[in-house]
Amino acid sequence: MSNSRILLIAIGKVDAKGLKYECEKLIARINQYISFSLLEIKEFGLDGKLEIEKEALKILEKTDDRSFKVALTDKGENVNSNEFFEFMDKRFVDNKSITFIIGGAFGLSSKIIKIADFNLALSSFTLTHQTARLVLLEQIYRWTEFKKGHPFVK
């Protein structure tokens, strides 16, 4: 997977010290297997629709048309870990890179959801964007371990 890469575009920073530590630890572990980058886009501090539209413009500036784009949204497809592993394997057959996009407190603009190649829901529960980041990183890390042949706790 030497030429493959994953980019995570996320609105805002992780504030909670423990949560930030866990995210950083997972990113370091993922990078041992595949090139992984995190791009944090600053929140603008606007209200609702105006905020997500401004965030959408920044996200669009940072996305690569050649990358397979995955928008995390509560309206996306809900998959379990094994289905996620299969999803990742299939993406890297046709693509050299995957870009995951996590919105901010107000979610993602419909523009981003429309340009995404796939819409993914991490849970039936509503998650904060910071929690969604940790859950996604954990699943990507589990996928890398699965690819190395290591068992994982289901």
Output the domain CATH number for residue 70. 3.40.1280.10
Residue 117: predicted pLDDT: 97
Give the pLDDT of residue 151: 76
Within a domain: 125: yes
Is there a domain that residue 102 lies in?
Answer: yes
**Amino acid making up residue 16:** A
Contact 51, 104 (CB under 8 A): yes
Q: Is residue 69 part of a domain?
A: yes
Residue 1 domain-assigned (yes or no): no
CA–CA dist 67, 62 (Å, integer): 11
Write out the chain's pLDDT in tens, 154 residues.
557 899 999 999 998 899 999 999 999 999 999 999 999 999 999 999 999 999 999 999 999 999 999 999 999 999 999 999 999 999 988 778 999 999 999 999 999 999 999 999 999 998 999 999 999 999 999 999 999 888 765 5
Residue 153 lies in a domain: no
> pLDDT at position 1, please?
55
Say if 119 falls within a structural domain.
yes
Quote the domain boundaries for residue 25. 6-148
Provide the whole-model pTM.
Answer: 0.94
Q: Tell me, what's the pLDDT at 152?
A: 66
> Is 154 among the domain residues?
no
The CA distance from 135 to 14, in Å, is: 13
Residue 32 lies in a domain: yes
Structurally, how many domains does the chain consist of? 1
The sign of the CA dihedral 53, 55, 56, 58 is positive
Alpha carbon distances (Å) from 125 to 20, 119, 122: 21, 16, 8
